[in-house]
Structures are given as structure tokens and as C-alpha cells.
Structure 1
Amino acid sequence: MENFKKLIELRKELHKYPEVSGTEIETGKSIKSFLQNYAPDELISELGTTGFAAIYKGKKPGKTVLFRCELDALPIEETNIFEHKSVNKGVSHKCGHDGHISILCGLAVKLHKNKPETGAVILLFQPAEEDGSGAEKVFFDSKFQVLKPDYVFALHNLPGYLTNQIVVKNGTFTCAVNSMIIHLEGKTSHAGEPEKGINPSLAIAEIITEFNARIQADNSQKNYCVITPIFIKMGTMAYGVSAGVGEIHFTVRSDSNLQMEILEKTLETLVQSIALKYALKCKLSWIQNFKANFNDDKAVEIIRKAAKINHFLVLEKENPFTWGEDFGLFTQHFSGAMFGLGSGLNTPALHNPDYDFPDEIIGTGVNMFHQISKEITNAY
């Protein structure tokens, strides 16, 4: 009970002092301060710049399992008025990463008291999940490359699902997401003589129309694809000037990495064709890439077993979640899975300004991770 109280205190401290992607310095210091009382056998700092890993080693050689949480908050102004409200203007934990961190720290408490029988358990505190850059920075860090886990696991809290319910799915758990930036350059002219310039407006309209025609929004069907316009900029507020440049941003979602690759090429070809049609110079770029999270069958079975042993209610999800999660990079390279942890039917949605992680599900997350670790490291 005392340890659970400390986890809640840590969660609220993290919530009060949030940091956006890539700047999680103080967040890391708070976690490391907590871990001093539950010292790991090895601590690897500066993973992907602001991330780190705590490793608890078994008495004998064996399999290695990695559990990941995220360190970053979002650029959202909090509307809650409780005592642990964010003090950092325009920044708040609206995805529950403060709770995910507390769960991993709770696992550290258990592993410190009861070391794995064999192998090792790695607790990865990953930076910059929200902008899609953190997993890649960690994965390609030479200090991470030597770890080579046999299994990788992560969870995400899920508003709109029963409190403490475990949500599982084989195959794709979260979708592939990529963001496209299209820059079009024509030529300005007098607004009274637009024919003497090259205005990108018709090309932008056609791109939006053509992209919209390729949407297949039912993720229970094959070739799921959602293309969402995010931002448009064209010309300036000079009413005597016909615009000469324009820019439009989209997010693109698919239920598989292979389908995403096909979509990217299709959309690039389409944009270049439309730009050529309107005599525009075109520059394309992609940012904030999230690989689809593909759950390994055996890893999901371990999750189911852990839930059963703990007497937690399990929901078998039929279709993938449509949001992106950069843990998908790890499940591309290692056997593993992500699962959902219900955070309440009436909890505000993720990224809502009034969302707050429910502390009552911390213990469930800790017990799930601990049982999963035992299934792997206590097996001979």
C-alpha cells in the first residue's frame, strides 16, 4: 500500500511538471530519483538523447524481456483545476504517459524485491513518442543495439473502456500513420490579371478532392485508408496579389506497413501529376512516421495468460485502433505486443484538455507487466 501511494505521488508530480517531446530532462530526473530506492543492476542513460533504460538481471542466463513507457507530454493547455494541474503553460499530460511511467516504476519496485530467475528485464523510458521520433532515436542508438531483447511489451490506457479491462488483439493493434507536406510554387500576379501568374488554388482543391476519393474509412475491411487535411496555407493577405505559393499538410493512416508504403507512392505520384498539370513546382516531404504496431501471436497469448492469472477482464478487439504509436518500430524488429488498459467509460478522451490518468489502474498495469515478466524470465 505504501509503494502504491508513492507511485501516485510520482504520477502527480510528473503530471504537474510535463515536458514535450525531446525535452524530457526534468521528467527523467524525477524518475531516476524514484528508482534510487529500487536500484537496477544497470542503468543506461541518454538513450535517444533524453531516454534511459533500467535493467534488472536474473540469477542465471535466459531470455530478456523489455517493457516500454513514454516520457513526453503534449502541447495542450490543461483545463483541470486540481492541485496537480500542469504548471507549464500550454503543456500537459493528456495521453497518460505520466501514468504509464508510474506503472513501469511500480514494476521496478517488484523487480528490485524479487529478481528474475533467469535472463533480464529491461525497463525502457522512451522519449518523444508523440512526434514519432523517440522509438527511432532509441532503436538506432548504439547503446540500445547491444540489448537485443527476446520480447517487447507496452500498454496504453484506453478511455471509453471498462476500468482495469485488458484489451488484446492479434496482428495489427495500432495503425501506420505518416504525415505528408506538399509545397507548391507558382508565380504571383496582379489579382485583376490572375492569368498572368500561376495560382496554386486549383491544384490544392484537386489534391484534396482526389485524396478524399481514396479514403476507405471502414477499418474492418481490407485497404483501410484515412487521409485527413491538417493545415493549408496559400498566398498572403494582400488583396491585389494572386497567390503564387501554397502548402497543404495531411495525415495518412493504414492498417499495415506494406499498405502504407503503397499509399505513399500512390499519393506522391498523384500530387506530382496534378502539379505538372497546373505548371507548378512541387516539393514533397513526410514527417512523424509511426509504423503499424503488429502484435506477435505468442506475445498476445502471454498477455492473455497474465490477465487470467490476475483475474482481469479481457476484451478481444476485432479491429485495430486508428491512432499511431511509435512502439510499432519495436514490434517490427522484435517479438512482442501492445495491449490496452481500460481507464473508464466516462474518462475524457485522450488528448482532451480535461483528461487525467486514473490512478486506480496503476496497480493493474504493474501486475500485468510483472506477470508477463515472470512468464518469460521464470520459465526454464
Structure 2
Amino acid sequence: MPTLGVAAVLLARRESLWTASRLAQWLGTRSYSIYLWHWPLVAGLVYFDRQHLGYWVAAGIVLSLLLGDLSYRLVEGPSRRWLATRSRWACLGWLLLALLVVALSAQAVRRSGFPDRLPESLAQVEAQRHNKNPRQDECLKADARCVFGGERVRALVVGDSHADAIVNAIVAALPEAEDGLYFRAESACLFVKGVRWAGKGEREDCQQLLREVPQELADADPRLPLIIINRTSNYIFPQSAEKSRPSFYFSVERSGDDPAFQAEFRQHYLDTLCTLARQRPVYLLRPVPEMPVHVPKAVGRALMRGLPADVSISREDYRQRHAFVWALQDEAASQCGVQLLDPLPYLCDEQVCHGSVAGVPRYVDMDHLSESGNRLLTPLFAPIFAQPAVEPATER
């Protein structure tokens, strides 16, 4: 807005070499009307995912100019001339009346339950967007020590926000109501010894988790299994457009494709898993499929436009994305005896992995399963608890 204001001032200087032309003066007089129209058009381009297409952007610019000209001719100009004939107090009265009309209209909409009039399909989409672990704020932090389910701990779960998004699916796999899980996790924290964080300092929250969890595991009953859930591939090959390098390093910051970096990561990754596997049974979850878009937003927008709503990625795209981590996990299984948990049979068919089915999202965003989506993985975890409960359980 300040930039447009400066432009309007400059264009209003008729004697300037740059602003003396009829085009510059035309833009200057209509700049505010153009500004008012450009924002809803920009929002519309983003809503319909057309902001990356040059011809749509060009059409938006042209439409902003046309609508701005119409507003100037039909609204701004006549209003200015009409108000110029009224006293200051009359202008204030009209302004207050306009504000009163807007406020009363807003209250009428709010009280009428307008949001509840959305189609049921859209209400379901919006519900899934917020269908997260209800204990996320309490337990997804380094200093939290949470027990999910009953008081008799049957397993230990460690990881990052993906662990938080899946832990209740594991709880649902517990055979008895009194069974529970001991949970430690920190958002964006890779559970690998020796990690140093690029651009974030030492990430004391994550370092705390990496220090304390091994100590707790050493004191826990060795018969209790450990389940590790991390979004490992994204730490190496960030999916975010703003990042191009790994979010961590060991000795020197390098590209994720750098053989030296991959060799370092392999050494630390396998060393961490093998050390843990010598103490107790270790289960390692394969990467959860990551969707190319924010699933509830994409599904909701598609439904509003009457288009096919479901989001998915191909199994081949998944394979390429996670090939490096899969190979390391295979190595951990063969060298260390780590047991691998594959979510693909539960989240994918033979061709694609589904972010939504029949217009109902399985994710709350691009990569975190919802509380209903994660229940698809409950049968995957059930065999871990086929043996009778361990007594006594770990101290907490």
C-alpha cells in the first residue's frame, strides 16, 4: 500500500518528465481504485492455483485496470463530487451511517449461522483440517514426558511431528484398555546422534531430546519395544521451496546430494539405530507419503469449483523421493536387526498413495496424517503387541 501511495503522488506531478504523459496521469488518478480491485483478484488467482501461470497473471492485471477505471468513473468520481457539495458534518454523518450498515450486516451474517450453510462435504473437509492429535500442544515438545492410553506402558515412541501425528494409531493397536505408550517427541527433530542444525543454532530443544531419551531407554525394561517415527527424507531433501539444503549437518554444511554428506549421514544413522537395537527391539516406520499440496485446502477448493477433489501421488514419485532413506533403512534392518514398518499397503493402492478418498482428506496438511487418516495404520502396529504385556513396566 505505501508503494502505491508513493506512485500516486509521483503520477500526480504533471510537470515531471516521467509523469506528464496521458497514460501516467490516467494511472495516477485511478491508482487507488486499481489498488482496491487488485487484491481480490490476486486472492482469486491464489485460491484457484493460477498464480504461477503468466497469462492468468496478465489477465488479472488487465482486469484490475478495467475495474479500477469503472470504479473511478462510476463510484469514486461521483462520490467525491457529491461530497464536495455537503458540509463537513453531513459528510461525517454519511460516513457513520455507512459504518453502521456494514456493522449491522456483519452481525446479521454472524448470527444467522452462515458458516453452517456450507455443504456437508465441505464441512467434512474443514473438520479434517483441524483433526490433529488433541494433546499436541502438551506433548510435542522436548521437555514433555507423556503417556498415551492406559498406565501400563507397552512401548516407547520417539520422533518428531510425524510421531505426534501417528501415536494415537499405535494406541488404537494396543490390546488392552490399561495398555499405554511412553512418548517423547519434538517438532522438526531428527533422532540421530551427532546432529547439528543448519541456520538454527544448536536447537537446544532437539539436543535436549537427543540427550535425555538414550538415558531413559538405558533405564527402561529392555523388553519394551522402541518405535521411531521421523520425517527423515525431508531433513535431507527439504520439500519446502524456501530450502534447498539439508536442515542439519555433522561436520560441514553440504548439499543433500553430496556423497560426503550422505556418507556421514549413513554412519550416524546406522550407529544410532544399531546402538538402540542392541538394547531392545526397535521398530522403524518407513516414510509416510508426502502430498504435493495442502490436502484439505486443495480438496475444499476443488469441491467449491465442482472439480475432482482427491489428492494423491504416484508410487513412483514416492519411490524416487525416499529412495535414499529406504536404502538406509534396509541396511539398518540387515545390519542391526531393526524391524521395518511399511505404511504403503495401508495408504496406497498399486499405483498411487492417497491424500484423500471420495473428497475426505486423510491429512491435515501436506504430510501429517489426521487422527482419522492415521487409524489406517493401526493394523500395521498391532503385531508389535502380540506378546503378553511386560511386567513390571518402565518407570516414568
Short-chain TM bin? 0.3 to 0.5
Looking at secondary structure, tell me which structure has more helix per residue. Answer: 2
Which fold has the larger relative contact order, with Cα–Cα distance below 8 Å and residues 6 or more apart in sequence?
Answer: 1
TM-score of the aligned structures, taking structure 2 as reference length: 0.31
Looking at secondary structure, tell me which structure has more strand per residue. Answer: 1
Say which one has the larger Rg: 2
